[in-house]
Amino acid sequence: MTTPQAIAAPARTMRLIHAAMITGIVLFALVAHFVMRPTMTTPNATWSPAMVRTFLGVALGLCALALLLRRRVPRRSADTSADAYWSSDARPAAMLVWAPLEAACLGSIVAYINTGAQAAVAVGAIAVVLFIVLNPASLEKP
């Protein structure tokens, strides 16, 4: 006879997903800075300054989009548990908030790898800070 498998609590699962997304971004940034960037002899000549500015502008636009999508995450009522809240429509809405932020972070890192532009580091830092601020605990506050 098989034993029933335990189902992970939805609130814990969302916290784990959020932490995994941030950890992946930080690890990619560290590898990009300490492993990939030093091995490049010269910046990639195919990235013009206008292209870098456009790329980083799109990343900032994705950060703004995430803040706009934050409004679509439903508020948790005081009598709803965290697990019940994350079992509702809040889960896909939160993922839609985090997806543009992850894209902004990864795009900024790619721009930094190819150009070494300090502006890419600044835009990436803004995106990471927003990602950390918009964590599951802040989204589920009543």
CA 26 to chain centre: 10
What is the pLDDT confidence band of residue 140, given thresholds at 50, 70 and 90? confident
Judge whether residue 100 has pLDDT over 80. Answer: yes
Opening angle at CA 24, ends 73 and 140, nearest 5: 20
Determine, yes or no, domain membership for 7.
no
Please give the tally of structural domains in the chain: 1
pLDDT for 35-89, tens place per residue? 887 776 565 567 888 999 999 999 999 999 999 999 999 988 889 888 899 998 9
The boundaries of the domain holding residue 81 are 12-37+48-139
More confident residue, 140 or 101: 101
The dihedral formed by the CA atoms of 105, 54, 113 and 45, expressed in degrees to the nearest 10: 170
Among residues 76, 55, 59, 78, which one has the least CA distance to residue 131? Answer: 59
Determine, yes or no, domain membership for 5.
no
d(CA 134, CA 113): 26
Determine, yes or no, domain membership for 92.
yes
pLDDT at 42: 63
pLDDT for 6-23, tens place per residue? 667 889 999 999 999 999
